[in-house]
Structure 1
């Protein structure tokens, strides 16, 4: 196989893999939900409700109602977690 064909085949394989990977990630997102108040310090998935940080891994305390983590859809309540609306209401108190 010529070098040019190898490059084209490699580029095509990469494009296909990226397309399939994003579809898989999208399907995975639908199977998960944000669960507030269950996070250990440093293990949050992204920004918090109060806006004091905007990155994963920046939770300062365990079980902070402002912090969230993705969990399998339908398991948040089993983990004694809160929805975003419940967390906002509890944070106001």
Structure 2
């Protein structure tokens, strides 16, 4: 299995585990303070908001696209292999 597949698999297993434990993986408007953007772990087409290369949520073109993020409960992103709290630098 190559590194990208390992990264995506690890991220997905982490998210599924959190869901099984009853942890809310998306935020209501009232809970935004308890959420962080996690870059580089979203599956293709499953990002939460626009990216540097796409204008809409759900339009990322590849798994683990560096500029695509998903909203996760605070403290979760740093536990996911390949997850980053920082957006990649623009060129």
Q: TM-score with structure 2 length normalisation?
A: 0.61
For residues 76 and 65 of structure 1, the distance between their equivalents in structure 2, rounded to whole angstroms, comes to 14
Q: Does 1:62 align with 2:55?
A: no
2:40 is matched with 37
> Partner of 2:54 in structure 1?
53
C-alpha displacement at 1:53, in angstroms?
1.4
Aligned to 1:82: 84
Structure with the bigger percentage of helix: 1
Q: CA RMSD in A?
A: 2.0
The CA distance in 1 between the partners of 2:49 and 2:69, in whole Å, is 7
Structure 2 Cα separation of the partners of residues 29 and 76 of structure 1:
15
The gaps in structure 1 that reach 5 residues or longer are 1-23
Number of corresponding residues? 64
Unaligned runs of 5+ in 2: 1-26
- Which aligned segments of 4 or more residues in structure 1 are displaced greater than 6 angstroms? none
> Separation in 2 of the partners of 1:25 and 1:38?
21
